[in-house]
Amino acid sequence: MATKTVTAKKTAPAKKDASAKKSTTTKKTTSKSSKAPAKQDAATDLKDFFEDALKDIYWAEKALTKALPKMEKNATHPELKKAIATHLEETQVHVKRLEECFKSLGLKPEAKKCDAMQGLLDEGKSIMEETKPGAIRDVGIIAASQKVEHYEIATYGSLAAYAKVLKEKTCLNNFLTTLKEEKNCDALLSKIADTALNTKAK
């Protein structure tokens, strides 16, 4: 009787192992079968995300066209004033390029408030309110402007990547052109700060 009891205890785990293997196999099969529709969902999500980001940057660029004239008015350095005025003209073109992108997607241009840009513009406004006209304010305007540029560079870089994946050629070409202009503006602001303003601000 003792021997039979021992044998029963040894065979019991073997049955559990077999059932565990079956369970694992079933889980793997289920996991594989659920992967196919996920690709379609991902593509749809990317398109939605792309369109949402497009609405954000459209709002941001339009808001920037209102903020730049105030920044130019508050700036005192001739090169800085000229750079801001030039970028205002570029920004107005950026808005038109975004509208072309909406059109190519079969969508009506729609602006969705961009909290990130609003925060950056509010910061720039605070700098102008808290400083006196002169080199210090100009340095602050450059710092605020470059934060805006860095945000736009990151955004247009991402949008270009999405457009490439989604094969939206009109949007892709427009984003790449705008991205180049944003980078050029950022480089110009750095040059103005390094060669003229930072020395006077000391």
Residue 6 is assigned to a structural domain of this protein: no
Cα–Cα distance measured from residue 88 to residue 79, given in angstroms and rounded to the nearest whole number = 14
Q: Domain tally for the chain?
A: 1
Residue 134 is assigned to a structural domain of this protein: yes
CATH (domain of 187): 1.20.1260.10
Q: Range of 80's domain?
A: 46-201
| Interaxial angle between packed helices 35-74 and 115-130, expressed in degrees from 0 to 180 and rounded to the nearest 10 | 20
Residue 25 is assigned to a structural domain of this protein: no
* pTM as predicted: 0.76
Alpha-helical (H) ranges within 75-168 are: 78-104, 115-130, 135-166
Burial of residue 133 (number of CB atoms within 10 Å: 0-12, 13-18, 19+): exposed
What digits encode the pLDDT tens for the residues 54-109?
999 999 999 999 999 999 999 999 999 999 999 999 999 999 999 999 999 999 99
What digits encode the pLDDT tens for the residues 123-156?
999 999 999 999 999 999 999 999 999 999 999 9
